[in-house]
Amino acid sequence: MMKTIAVMTSGGDSPGMNAAARAVVRTAIFNGVHVFGIYNGYKGMLKDDMQELTSRSVSDIIQRGGTFLGTARSKEFETEEGRRKGYENLKKHGIEGLVIIGGDGSLRGGAQLSEECDIPIVGIPGTIDNDVWGSDYTIGCDTAANTIVDAINKLRDTASAHRRIIVIEVMGHRSGWLAMTAGIAGGAEYVLVPEVKYDIDEICDDIKESYARGKRYSIIVVAEGAGSGVDIGKIVAEKTEIDTRVSVLGHIQRGGSPTVQDRMKASQLGEQAALALISGVTNVVFGFEAGEVVRIDLFEAVHNKKTLDPELVRLAHVLA
């Protein structure tokens, strides 16, 4: 059994990362294992920005968005020399294993570190994009989807009052899960995602017909990877000649107090990750499949690309 482990958050922050880190820290301490927090992701690892945590260090954070450990992106860690430097810093503190909470890039960094240096790694998927292969769920996706649905509800009220079309741009450069899920839950008429081709002329004709039949509003959710909300709004306004407004939600989607689902799942993943790591398991990612916690091979997780569930695309189309 290990004596000392560390936990870090990396890449884009997501609501629930705190709950996961808290679970890792408290599980380690519960089992008599020392636990370090590495501040500001790989950047902090290279700067030796880490310190031992107590149970108290993670008090009063489960309800907060963001991450008390901070997060960052590091170009230096992408080099072998950088990773070696990070490893030396871990060794200096007697850290025998590492829990990394982050998106696919962060997990890729962990896989590289594990391949080159003798350090066991356990990953926890933390990103609002829900795009880590092998897991149905990533920490923060539920809170972010709820934030978008809340915005859709409010925008729909005003759209309906003015008979407007509303275009809402949401996050998702390469993954449309967030747009699709929030679009379905928010009752959007159209959801544009990077994974699915769309015909803007067809959409505009469709909207014109629906307005002719008496419809009072139309909601178009656009994942940023499917096009700019502003540009799409301009085209739609021009082609339909219907009053159109654009709302770009931006970083508001990253923040906020995590939902119960994000807190619960993050806590479960944090506990399982810490238990596995201290008992000598390495190169795995803990995720969810069909509601159960599952172990995913770290290398498979980072080498495969998660695809958007076609069932979601179909459902969005049927219910529009």
Of 36, 39, 77, 190, which lies in the binding site for ligand ATP, with binding defined by CB under 6 A? 77
Q: Which is nearer to ligand ATP, 139 or 203 (CB)?
A: 139
Nearest 5°: phi and psi at 118? -85, 70
Shortest Å, Cβ 266 to ligand ATP: 15
The pairing of strands 165-170 and 50-52 is unpaired
Which string of x and - marks every residue 97-136 that binds ligand ATP (by CB under 6 A)? -----xxxxx-xx--x--------------x-x-------
Q: Which is nearer to ligand ATP, 7 or 246 (CB)?
A: 7
Q: Which residues are catalytic?
A: 129
CA dist 212 and 203 (Å) reads: 14
DSSP characters over 225-242: GG--HHHHHHHHHHHH-S
Of 4, 61, 64, 73, which lies in the binding site for ligand ATP, with binding defined by CB under 6 A? 73
CA dist 272 and 156 (Å) reads: 41
78 is a site residue for ligand ATP (CB under 6 A) = yes
Which string of x and - marks every residue 16-55 that binds ligand ATP (by CB under 6 A)? --------------------------x-------------
Nearest 5°: phi and psi at 301? -60, -40
Shortest Å, Cβ 220 to ligand ATP: 24
Contacts of 87 (CB under 8 A, 6+ apart): 113, 116, 117, 119
Rounded to whole angstroms, the maximal C-alpha distance in the chain is: 71
Shortest Å, Cβ 150 to ligand ATP: 21
Residue 33 near residue 3, CB atoms below 8 Å: yes
For ligand ATP, the binding residues in 242-301 under the rule CB under 6 A are: none
| Site of interaction with ligand ATP (CB under 6 A) | 10-12, 42, 73-74, 77-78, 102-106, 108-109, 112, 127, 129
